[in-house]
Amino acid sequence: MSLLRAREAAEYLNVSLATLGRMEKEGELTPFRTPGGHRRYSLTMLHEYLEGSRQRSRSARPPQNAQGEKLSYGTVRILVVDDEPDAVELIVRALREDSEVYEFASASNGYEAGVQVMAFKPDLIVLGLTQPETDELEVCKKIKSDSETEHIKVVGVVGSGKNGVVQELLRCGADDCLVKPLQIEELQRSVRYLTSR
């Protein structure tokens, strides 16, 4: 039986390593362990997970927000934060193609994001970051440390090769982190996964 390493399994499922780890914690995947403690995944296990995921997404259950409550208007609110209008447009278009239940708002900086969190009350934030010291990190930290907003899921989007930003964002409480150039399917799957929790 051919077994894949964690990175290979994440690529096969088109998710980040952080999302793969979360799937394991929540019991959706149970990898094999080598004598050295390394995780290994069979193609059968990954294929079964994908099939189950497709069937769940086709089911007729009403849409829910990040807290598991039924949405009165059948929507999932997504706030897209990025200082590049083209990036915001790309993210909104990609997510709109994936589901009709998403409703969008946008912000171009950390201050606007804070205002939108209070006004728009998003279920998930797609947070674009360029440098470790940006105010978007502070927004993430505040959201995750406040009992009124800690339920909001945060997906960070960082420039390639910015490992320091990825680590800092995860320390601030982000639920997932994607690296540019952004893979549309990975973004769609991450948002779908986090908003179905």
The predicted structure's pLDDT at residue 134: 60
Instruction: Let me know if residue 66 belongs to a domain.
Output: no
**Main-chain dihedrals φ then ψ at residue 44, nearest 5 degrees:** -60, -45
Residue 1 has pLDDT above 70, yes or no: no
Return the percentage of the chain with pLDDT > 90, whole number: 26
Co-location of 37 and 87 in the same domain: no
Contact 70, 29 (CB under 8 A): no
Instruction: Let me know if residue 114 belongs to a domain.
Output: yes
Residue 59 has pLDDT above 50, yes or no: no
Distance CA 182, CA 160 (A): 9
**Main-chain dihedrals φ then ψ at residue 141, nearest 5 degrees:** -60, -45
Q: Which of 2-16, 57-71, 96-110 has the highest mean pLDDT?
A: 96-110
Co-location of 88 and 12 in the same domain: no
Co-location of 102 and 184 in the same domain: yes
Please state the domain count of the chain: 2
Per-residue pLDDT band for 137 (boundaries 50, 70, 90) equals confident
The predicted structure's pLDDT at residue 56: 56
Co-location of 85 and 181 in the same domain: yes
Return the CATH number at 9.
1.10.1660.10
Instruction: Let me know if residue 169 belongs to a domain.
Output: yes
The predicted structure's pLDDT at residue 69: 47
**Main-chain dihedrals φ then ψ at residue 105, nearest 5 degrees:** -140, 160
8-state DSSP, 133: T
- Kindly report the average pLDDT of the chain as a whole number: 81
What is the domain extent for residue 48?
A: 3-58
Co-location of 90 and 157 in the same domain: yes
Q: 158 to each of 100, 149, 161, how far by Cα in Å?
A: 26, 22, 9
Residue 112 has pLDDT above 80, yes or no: yes
Per-residue pLDDT band for 36 (boundaries 50, 70, 90) equals confident
